[in-house]
C-alpha cells in the first residue's frame, strides 16, 4: 500500500526501488479531496455585506461561498469586501450578492479529484481556496451543492505531516 513492496502471486513480495520523491508524488496524486476537505462557510446571497464580514472574521476564513436556493451562486473574498468599503456603500443594507464573483467565473473541484489537481487549480487561477462541490442536475441545468472547501492551508498540512528522511 505504501508503494515500497510489490506483491506477486505465488512468488512473494519484491522491493521496488523508488525514491522518496517518487513515493511522495504518488501519494499526493492518489490523495483525494474527499479525504482532506474542510467544512465550507456559506452565506445566503441576501445576507448583508456587514453580516458576511462578521461571519468571515468569526469563522477565520478568507472567502465565503454564497448560496442561492442552497446551490453555489458566487464567492466573496476579503478583496471584494475591501472594494465595497472603499466605495462608501451602505454595507448594513447592501446584499452580499451584489459584490460577489458570480458563476460561471468560479473554479470548483469535486471530491474524487486529487489534491494535486486542487493545488494546480489554486496556482493557475491565483486563488486561496476552492469549493468542493457535487453536481446536481435540476431542470436540465447543472447546479453545484457545496460540500466542503479545500484551501492552501489544507494542502500545506499534507506536506507538514510528511516525515521524509527522519526529519
pLDDT given at position 165: 47
Checking if the pLDDT of 161 tops 90, the result is no
The share of the chain scoring above pLDDT 90, in percent, equals 58
Q: Among 11-25, 27-41, 88-102, which is the least confidently predicted range?
A: 11-25
What lies within 8 Å, CB to CB, of 26 at 6+ separation is 3, 18
What separation in angstroms does the CA of 150 have from each of 8, 31, 103, 123, 160?
37, 13, 18, 13, 16
Q: How high is the pLDDT of residue 166?
A: 46
Q: Which residue has the higher pLDDT, 118 or 10?
A: 118
Per-residue burial over 59-90, b if 16 or more Cβ lie within 10 Å, else e, is eebbbbbbbeeebbbbbbbeebbeebeeeeee
Least confident of 96-105, 128-137, 154-163: 154-163
CA distances from 118 to 77, 108, 146 (A): 19, 9, 15
Within 10 Å of residue 101's Cβ, how many Cβ atoms? 16
Domain ranges of the chain: 1-30, 31-160
Superfamily of domain 31-160: CBS-domain (3.10.580.10)
Predicted pLDDT at 109: 96
The residue-averaged pLDDT of 8-20 equals 65
Instruction: Tell me the average pLDDT across 42-68.
Output: 95
Global confidence as pTM: 0.80
pLDDT of 20 strictly over 80: no
Confidence at residue 139, expressed as pLDDT on a 0 to 100 scale: 87
18-47 average pLDDT score:
84
The mean pLDDT value for 66-86 works out to 92
Average pLDDT over residues 16-32: 72
pLDDT at res. 6: 64
Amino acid at each position: 500500500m505504501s508503494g515500497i513492496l510489490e506483491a506477486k502471486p505465488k512468488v512473494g513480495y519484491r522491493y521496488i526501488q523508488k525514491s522518496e520523491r517518487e513515493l511522495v508524488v504518488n501519494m499526493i496524486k492518489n490523495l483525494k479531496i474527499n479525504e482532506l476537505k474542510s467544512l465550507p462557510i456559506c452565506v445566503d446571497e441576501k445576507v448583508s455585506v456587514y453580516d458576511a464580514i462578521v461571519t468571515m472574521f468569526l469563522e477565520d476564513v478568507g472567502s465565503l461561498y454564497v448560496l442561492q436556493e442552497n446551490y453555489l451562486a458566487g464567492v466573496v473574498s476579503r478583496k471584494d469586501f475591501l472594494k465595497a468599503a472603499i466605495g462608501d456603500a451602505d454595507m448594513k443594507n447592501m446584499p452580499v450578492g451584489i459584490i460577489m464573483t458570480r458563476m460561471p467565473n468560479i473554479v470548483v473541484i469535486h471530491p474524487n479529484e486529487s489534491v494535486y489537481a486542487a493545488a494546480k487549480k489554486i496556482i493557475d487561477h491565483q486563488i486561496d481556496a476552492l469549493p468542493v462541490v457535487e453536481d446536481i442536475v435540476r431542470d436540465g441545468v447543472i447546479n453545484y451543492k457545496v460540500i466542503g472547501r479545500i484551501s492552501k492551508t489544507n494542502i500545506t498540512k499534507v506536506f507538514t505531516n510528511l516525515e521524509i528522511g527522519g526529519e
